[in-house]
Each structure stands twice: as structure tokens, then as C-alpha cells.
Amino acid sequence: MQRESRRHVPGTFSIAARDPEADVFGAAVTTGTVSVGATCPYVSEAAAVVTQAFTKTTHGQAGVARAAAGERVDDALAALLDADDHAAYRQVHGVGVDSEFTFTGGECTEWCGDRIGDDYTVAGNILTGPEVLAATAEAYESTDGDMADRLVSALEAGEAAGGDERGEMSAALLIHAPEPEFFHNLRVDLSETPVEDLRTLLDEARRAQAQIIAETEDSETEYPPSVFDFGVKY
């Protein structure tokens, strides 16, 4: 009953990351309200940014766009926050080609905080404590696999460490890569177990992509190889 009364209160924890060898940027996020993937994570060919707490979508949109245009992501996000009269209520973090950035405003709800690692950043507010971010970071660093696996593993670890103090309701995974995949843009918008569902969705999207390609290749119709090339809406 107590959890029900606190549903749909702004807050989240998230990770933004870069894999320099694969030239991939990604972000993953989960929160105690619906549809977190609609407004919080942003990626481009040069950055991954998450805007949360009192979310301002233009910080994410402009942050990744300015990075793609050649600006350092830390300079871009700092400038956006400097021009924001309500920056104290924001939480913004991200990673670019040559820099990382975290910001937690003084008016964000406790527990709140952020941390920077090698080619990744994590941040959260309304969490059970700092152990959530520590577990998120440790899991990302220690998990083998591609960016998608590492980001979802990071959310799983953060949730296991306590997560959002209200419990999670939605989760999202967003990745920019030279070769887009089905599983680079996934959202669970309303669930009692959104992080678990995000893992299920990731596994199923991988299986579905492999099956579709295999079935098409086995078809009697001869398709041009380029028919498998597609873009992902970021």
C-alpha cells in the first residue's frame, strides 16, 4: 500500500557508457514511474547522455547533438546547465569521445549522487543509498559481452542493491552503433519487474533478429544483401 501511494514520483538510476573499440555509445535507465525511455536517455555517434530528476529533454537532445558536431560532451552539458535557471533540480550525466560528465543539483531528492568511471558515468536519485550506484558501476566493469549485455547487467545489479526506493516501474536501453540491431532500442514502459522484463526483451530481440535473417536466407526468394540494412530511431 505504501509503494502504491508513492508511484509516479520523479526519480531514477542510470548508466551512460562508451565502448571505444566497438565505437558504440549506450545508456540504460530504470525508474519508479512509467515510460522512462521516452524522455531520459539520448545517444549519438559521439555521446550518450541521460537527463533525469526534473528531466529537461533538451539537455539530452542538445548534449548528444553538440558532441556529434565536435564539442566535448562535458563542455556541452556544463554550458546547457549554466543557462538553465532550474539546474539545481536536474541530474544530468554522460560520456563522449574524450570526456565524461556528471551533475547532481543541490535540490535533487535524497538519496542522490553520481560517479565517473573509465568511459562510463552513473547517477541516481530517490535511491536506497550509494550502494546502488556502486553495484551498477561494478557490474558494468566486470560483465563480459557487448554493450547491451553490460548495460542491462548494470541495471540488474543496481536493482539488486536496493534500486529506486519506491521500486521500479519502467526501464529502457538505447544504443548507437555503426551497425544498428533490433535490440539497440528497447523499452519496458509499465511493469512490476521492468529490469527483469528488459533482460527478457533483450534476449528475445536477439533471438528474433537471428530467426528473421535465417528464415529469409532460407527462402526461395533471392533478396539483395542490403535488404537487411536498417536504421534505428534514436
Report yes or no on 128 lying in a domain. Answer: yes
Query: For the residues 67-94, what does the mean pLDDT come to?
Result: 98
3: pLDDT strictly greater than 60:
no
Kindly report, residue by residue over 97-154, the tens digit of the pLDDT. Answer: 999 999 999 999 999 999 999 999 999 999 989 999 999 999 999 999 999 999 999 9
Residue 233 lies in a domain: no
Tens digits of residue pLDDT in 17-50:
999 999 999 999 999 999 999 999 999 999 999 9
Tell me, yes or no, whether 14 lies in a domain.
Answer: yes
Put residue 76 in one of left, alpha, beta given phi > 0 → left and psi -120 to 50 → alpha: alpha
Q: How confident is the model at residue 1 (pLDDT cuts 50, 70, 90)?
A: very low
* CATH number of 43's domain: 3.60.20.10
CA separation for the pair 99, 120 (Å, rounded):
10
How far apart CA 185 and CA 193 sit, in angstroms, is 18
Residue 153 domain boundaries:
2-228
Q: Is residue 186 part of a domain?
A: yes
Per-residue pLDDT of 166-212, as tens digits, reads 678 999 999 999 988 889 999 999 999 999 999 999 999 988 877 77
In a domain, 234, yes or no: no
What is the number of domains present in the chain? 1
Q: What CA–CA distance (Å, rounded) separates 95 from 50? A: 9
Report the DSSP beta bridge partners of residue 104.
91
Q: What would you measure as the largest C-alpha separation in the chain, in angstroms?
A: 63
